[in-house]
Structure 1
Amino acid sequence: MRRQESGVSDEYAKKLVSRTIDALLELSGNRLAIERKRQRKNGLEYTERYVRLMEEAEIPGDGTGATARTNPTTGDVDG
């Protein structure tokens, strides 16, 4: 969330980020992971949060069905 935009307070931006991440976790069925990274720049400490899709997570609609969509076949025709 970019807090540099005018009219967006730090407190509001932090709450909005937390709500967004909570909604992502809920909608994904907890298949996502939140990774925090702390760093120091210019004497200040920053915490960045990243949303990661875990390797073992199954993605609905992804997988063996992809080949059927790219190589469709026709069904038998009676006649």
Structure 2
Amino acid sequence: MPMAAEEIEAMIRAAIPDAHVEITDLAGDGDHYAARVVSESFRGLPRPQQHRRVYDALGGRMGGVLHALQLTTATPDRGV
């Protein structure tokens, strides 16, 4: 069963409380999303670590329930 955009956003916000999260369903199928996550907690972290924090927030759903996520991360001064 596909994930709803609201569920993805809620999971990210639960793990990264200060995050500004925008989710876009790229194909209309609930399996292919784009996410833009902006958080002060990303400051000083290299991009792969920022992305890992988001993937960790999704609790192992990447590649299973959630087939594809085009991810963009940033700090507030670079992104909202």
TM-score for the superposition, normalised by structure 2: 0.30
**Which structure's CA Rg is the greater one?**
1
Report which of the two has the higher share of helix: 2
